[in-house]
Amino acid sequence: MRIATYTANGETFFGAITDEGAVALNSEFAEFKSLYEVVAAGAFGQLIKAAEGKPVTHTDFTFEMVMPDVRRILCVGVNFPDRNAEYKDGSAQPKYMSLFPRFASGFTGHNRPLIRPPENHTLDYEGEVAIVIGKAGRRISQDDAYGHIAALTLCNEGTIRDWVRHAKFNVTQGKNWDNSGAIGPWLVPFTDAAQLDGAHIQTHVNGELRQDDTLNRMMFPIRREIEYISTFMTLQPGDIIVTGTPTGAGARFDPPKYLAPGDVVEISVDGIGTLRNTIEDEQI
Question: What tens digit of pLDDT does each residue of 127-157 get?
Answer: 999 999 999 999 999 999 999 999 999 999 9
Q: Is residue 153 within 8 Å of residue 269, measured between CB atoms? A: no
Mean model confidence pLDDT for the chain:
96
Q: Is residue 125 within 8 Å of residue 152, measured between CB atoms? A: no
Sign for the CA dihedral angle at 207, 209, 210, 215 comes to positive
Look at residue 268 and give its three-state secondary structure: strand
Q: Is residue 4 within 8 Å of residue 66, measured between CB atoms? A: yes
Average pLDDT over residues 186-201: 97
Query: In angstroms, rounded to a whole number, what is the distance separating the alpha carbons of residues 274 and 60?
Result: 19
* pLDDT at position 85: 55
| Strand ranges inside the chain, DSSP E | 3-8, 11-17, 22-24, 62-63, 73-77, 98-102, 107-108, 112-116, 123-124, 127-133, 149-156, 159-160, 181-189, 200-205, 208-214, 240-242, 264-269, 273-281
* pLDDT at position 62: 98
DSSP 208: E
Query: In angstroms, rounded to a whole number, what is the distance separating the alpha carbons of residues 5 and 67?
Result: 7
pTM for the whole thing? 0.96
Q: Does the pLDDT at position 86 exceed 70? A: no
